[in-house]
Structure 1
Amino acid sequence: MNIKEKYTNLFLTLIQWILFGSIIGGVVGSTTALLLEANDYLGELREKDSQWLVFLLPLGGILIGYIYMNYGKVYLNHSLHDAAEQNNLVIEGVQGKKQLLKRMGPITYLATFITVLFGGSTGREGAAIQMGGSVAQTVNRLFKIKIFDKRILIMSGISAGFGAAFGAPIAGAFMGIEMVALGMIKFEAIIPCLIASYVAHFITTGAWGVEHEELIIEMVPELSLLTFAKVILVSLIFSLLSILYCQLRHWIQETSERLFKKNHMKRAFMGGIIIVIFTLIIGSQDYNGRGLEMLQQSFTEDVPPFAFLAKLVFTAVTLGTGFVGGEAIPLFFMGATLGNTLHDFIGLPISFLAALGLIATFSGGANVPITAFLLALEMFDGKGLEFFFVACFVSYIFSGHHGLWPSQQVHEPKSRLYNIPNGKTIKSIEKNNDT
């Protein structure tokens, strides 16, 4: 192939990525706007006017289980492709192990709305990512994309969903690339991922007028060795928090599947009952739903000292028993409220510690340190970037090979301190206690 042919192919490929990234971003931006607006409406409806709806959560669980058991499963090539695997199915779609379902996005949206309306503890980015994967899968089939390029387009669907859900298009671009495997960055995918993420973000905010929550760092400490030492110390604590959540959530899922023989309806019904009991014991619904009010409060004033633990349990039970939604916002809540609690002991500004906890806990739980760092830059206007950079990678490394999504593959271990073979998944590593 001569130089002219090489540049011609490069130009045609670039045009292709721009076209497909724009299509995916445009569709996902609109669907994410629907997700955000509907979630806000349903969440506020329950929180302000209809708190009694939480008592219907077990019935909502039955409905979610029925939907997934009857409409979320497809057998292809003697293999089960189950939409109930949620983000894990999206990851396996990029890895080429599973097939994404075109109806996965709509099913996930409906199940997320039910979870939010009835007071399950959940977030939103999971639904946005799965809709992104579903849209990418549809584009793949319409245009008959090659297998290799198909995986890149699914990454761009992930990027579009995440970038639009949080108003962070640069972080979204890297989310699609970094989420799939630990220790591997596929830079070839950066163009379609960046385009899809930016288009989705501008459609969500510009075309549909969606406004994202603002979390403000009021004061950043001065650069010093002591401050960095404190940041490293609390980042270690945040990494342990992410491990605790991931382990509890996975244990609840495995236990409930074993006890109810993978009957989604029975699992979610029982999970709903447990959440109702916990809500009655606590005497408030601060830990049901998204918890945005307390998340924002953690940046400005004291919150209950064990709020992070309550949210951890509520979310692990909700998602571990088969309800649907994202895990980023619950992780944000846990990290921010724990940072708020540590404020009295560490001697750092309360808003700074809340922000640090939010980002570091997400980095350790999702295993996406670059995405988390970029999210901090976009979310907090570049304040304290030196501290966030350290916090993201300290939490990532010391959280070991745990994570929100068992399908994540270890391309390379996080450190030579971990004796982990390349190619293993989080699920197989946790099963063998090799973390």
Structure 2
Amino acid sequence: MKKIITSFEHVAILKHLLKWTLITIPVALFAGSVIALFLWLLEKVTVIRWHHPWLLFLLPVAGILIYLSYYFGGKKAEAGNNLIVDEIHKPGGGVPFRMAPLVLITTVVTHLFGGSAGREGTAVQIGGSIASWIGKKLKLDKADTKILLMTGVAAGFGAVFGTPLTGAIFALEVITVGKINHKALLPCFIASILADIVCKQWGIHHTQYTIAFKNILTDTNGMFHMNWVLLASVILGGVLFGLASYLFSELSHTIKNYSQRFIAKKWLIPFIGGLIIIGLTYLVGTDSYLGLGVDNPDPNAVSILSCFKAGGAGYFSWFWKLLFTAITLSMGFKGGEVTPLFFIGAALGNAVAMLTGAPVDLMAGLGFIGVFAGATNTPIACTLMGVELFGGENAIYFAIACFTAYYFSGHTGIYSAQRLGFSKLTAEHTRDKELTLQKIRKERLKNKKHFKF
């Protein structure tokens, strides 16, 4: 009898896997192809802006055009990543397909005119909207729609950064803080892998990062040992990365709330935001903090790549990028937060290394993934990202930095629709399934003290 039951169980598992493989393939094909187009356009407009720096003066006008695009044609698409997270928790009207072309075009416009933004948010929204459209065509039920939306997130993230394993785990981990839904594990993994392959088949090449530092953690007898001085620097860095995540999230939410409250004409919000970015650019005297910030043709500019070298960033470069990005995204421009978070973290890691004497490339890499881990509450995915991008030799330090940053970022994050599964303060499960980071923040501000979970 047990053998018969086991046989039926494995047949059911096989059917389940075949079903989701077939459903996931079109999501990955479409998402990978559209993201390839997006990355190609992003590269082209970035080069155009480098060659024509006067385009920055049109950023306020571009902001108005972006506002009008969403006002007349966006509807629910304006909610962006938070809409996708909400739909995964409680499927309702779905994610509108118009989200994909809208966010793609407006993100390209943001970068063309110098807005400080990233690409992850755009990729996730492209993947989510494509997945939702396919789900509607297949007439999937709510349970399957949740899984399909998660595969869209995985496909978008895996393809845009060339990190398929990270993309799969990110899609599982980002939905609820402290909790992972393993039911979508294989579909997300398939979607992320295939979307990455498709994107690369279109000729897209991702930036290569290198950490030359190699720490030998075991001796010739296989005994584990640790460089305790370096460990102290990594822990200190992790704390600072978490606090930087907290600062970015809180500043972004604050700017958005105050601009919505005090600027009556909403089209003026991105217009004023563009003027502020122009003013800040001339205040700091460099264009280092515009656009993605991955690299820069100016050898004296600060970029993510320069942060991996001694003297490649100033002590406050991380803060300037944080401020530029918070203003850009909170005042109506489009794009993701993650690549700017990479910049913020790498620059902060560079500063920590210069102060502590730790290896610069290692600390820049730890900041790169650590600030991202704290801001998105995805420490496991970010640890894996470190391995995929930098190699596995320093995986223990990756984990220490990401886990520490995760805790010190507090109960906040760039995705206000994230639910709190487990409190960072206690080991207890949060019973209120509707307890979002947005609700936590409102309660904290209302009570003028930390909200108790």
Equivalent position to 1:253, from 235, 253, 256:
256
Quick one: which amino acid aligns to residue 85 of structure 2?
A: I
Residue number in structure 2 paired with 1:200: 195
Residue number in structure 1 paired with 2:441: 430
1:285 deviates by 1.0
User: Structure 1 residues 264, 178: CA separation in 2 closer, same or farther (over 3 Å shift)?
Assistant: farther
Q: How many residues are paired up?
A: 424
Mapped partners of 2:36, 2:79: distance in 1: 24
Q: Tell which deviates more after alignment, 353-362 or 337-346.
A: 337-346
- Is 1:139 aligned to 2:134, yes or no? yes
1:419 deviates by 10
Quick one: which amino acid aligns to residue 295 of structure 1?
A: I
Residue number in structure 2 paired with 1:10: 13
Mapped partners of 2:342, 2:428: distance in 1: 27
Equivalent position to 1:218, from 212, 233, 236:
212
Quick one: which amino acid aligns to residue 403 of structure 2?
A: F
Are 2:421 and 2:429, in contact at CA under 8 Å, matched by a contact in 1?
A: no
- Is 1:328 aligned to 2:338, yes or no? yes
Equivalent position to 1:184, from 176, 179, 182:
179
What is the TM-score normalised by the length of structure 2?
0.90
Mapped partners of 1:383, 1:297: distance in 2: 22
- Is 1:164 aligned to 2:135, yes or no? no
Q: Tell which deviates more after alignment, 156-165 or 297-306.
A: 297-306
Quick one: which amino acid aligns to residue 310 of structure 2?
A: E
Are 2:422 and 2:429, in contact at CA under 8 Å, matched by a contact in 1?
A: no
User: Structure 1 residues 417, 2: CA separation in 2 closer, same or farther (over 3 Å shift)?
Assistant: closer
Deviations 1:380-399 (A, max 9, x none): 02130011111111111121
- Is 1:96 aligned to 2:107, yes or no? no
What RMSD in Å do the two structures reach over aligned CA positions? 1.7
Residue number in structure 1 paired with 2:38: 35
| Match runs of 1:27-176 below 5 Å | 27-47=30-50, 49-73=51-75, 82-96=76-90, 98=92, 99-176=94-171
Structure 1 unpaired stretches of 5+? 74-81
Quick one: which amino acid aligns to residue 442 of structure 2?
A: K
Quick one: which amino acid aligns to residue 345 of structure 1?
A: L
Mapped partners of 2:241, 2:57: distance in 1: 33
Residue number in structure 1 paired with 2:221: none
Mapped partners of 2:341, 2:431: distance in 1: 28
Residue number in structure 2 paired with 1:342: 352
Residue number in structure 2 paired with 1:298: 307
Deviations 1:391-412 (A, max 9, x none): 1111111211110111000011
Mapped partners of 2:235, 2:429: distance in 1: 24
1:211 deviates by 0.6
Q: Tell which deviates more after alignment, 358-367 or 417-426.
A: 417-426
Percent of aligned positions that are identical? 36
Mapped partners of 1:344, 1:289: distance in 2: 26
Residue number in structure 2 paired with 1:78: none
Quick one: which amino acid aligns to residue 216 of structure 1?
A: T
Quick one: which amino acid aligns to residue 193 of structure 1?
A: C
Deviations 1:327-384 (A, max 9, x none): 1110000010011111122121110010011111110011001110110010002130
Are 2:91 and 2:142, in contact at CA under 8 Å, matched by a contact in 1?
A: no
Mapped partners of 2:344, 2:278: distance in 1: 20
Mapped partners of 1:97, 1:277: distance in 2: 43
Mapped partners of 1:173, 1:282: distance in 2: 39
- Give 3-state SS (helix, strand or coil) of 1:209's partner: coil
- Give 3-state SS (helix, strand or coil) of 1:292's partner: coil
Residue number in structure 1 paired with 2:418: 408
User: Structure 1 residues 420, 144: CA separation in 2 closer, same or farther (over 3 Å shift)?
Assistant: closer
- Is 1:394 aligned to 2:397, yes or no? no
Residue number in structure 1 paired with 2:323: 313
Mapped partners of 1:169, 1:417: distance in 2: 31
- Give 3-state SS (helix, strand or coil) of 2:187's partner: helix
What is the TM-score normalised by the length of structure 1?
0.94
- Give 3-state SS (helix, strand or coil) of 1:111's partner: helix
Deviations 1:27-58 (A, max 9, x none): 111111111111011011101x1110010000
Are 1:413 and 1:422, in contact at CA under 8 Å, matched by a contact in 2?
A: no
Mapped partners of 1:315, 1:175: distance in 2: 22
- Is 1:20 aligned to 2:15, yes or no? no
User: Structure 1 residues 137, 26: CA separation in 2 closer, same or farther (over 3 Å shift)?
Assistant: same
1:229 deviates by 2.1
Are 1:155 and 1:177, in contact at CA under 8 Å, matched by a contact in 2?
A: yes
Deviations 1:310-340 (A, max 9, x none): 1011000000001010111100000100111
Bigger Cα Rg: 2
Are 2:158 and 2:193, in contact at CA under 8 Å, matched by a contact in 1?
A: yes
Are 1:264 and 1:322, in contact at CA under 8 Å, matched by a contact in 2?
A: no
User: Structure 1 residues 421, 146: CA separation in 2 closer, same or farther (over 3 Å shift)?
Assistant: closer
Quick one: which amino acid aligns to residue 218 of structure 1?
A: A
Are 1:339 and 1:357, in contact at CA under 8 Å, matched by a contact in 2?
A: yes
Q: Tell which deviates more after alignment, 12-21 or 245-254.
A: 12-21
Mapped partners of 1:233, 1:287: distance in 2: 25
Mapped partners of 2:283, 2:210: distance in 1: 33
1:417 deviates by 8.0
1:7 deviates by 3.7
User: Structure 1 residues 196, 250: CA separation in 2 closer, same or farther (over 3 Å shift)?
Assistant: same
Mapped partners of 1:386, 1:317: distance in 2: 35
Are 1:221 and 1:349, in contact at CA under 8 Å, matched by a contact in 2?
A: no
Quick one: which amino acid aligns to residue 51 of structure 1?
A: P
| Match runs of 1:346-425 below 5 Å | 346-416=356-426, 422-423=432-433, 424-425=435-436
- Give 3-state SS (helix, strand or coil) of 1:107's partner: helix
1:421 deviates by 6.0
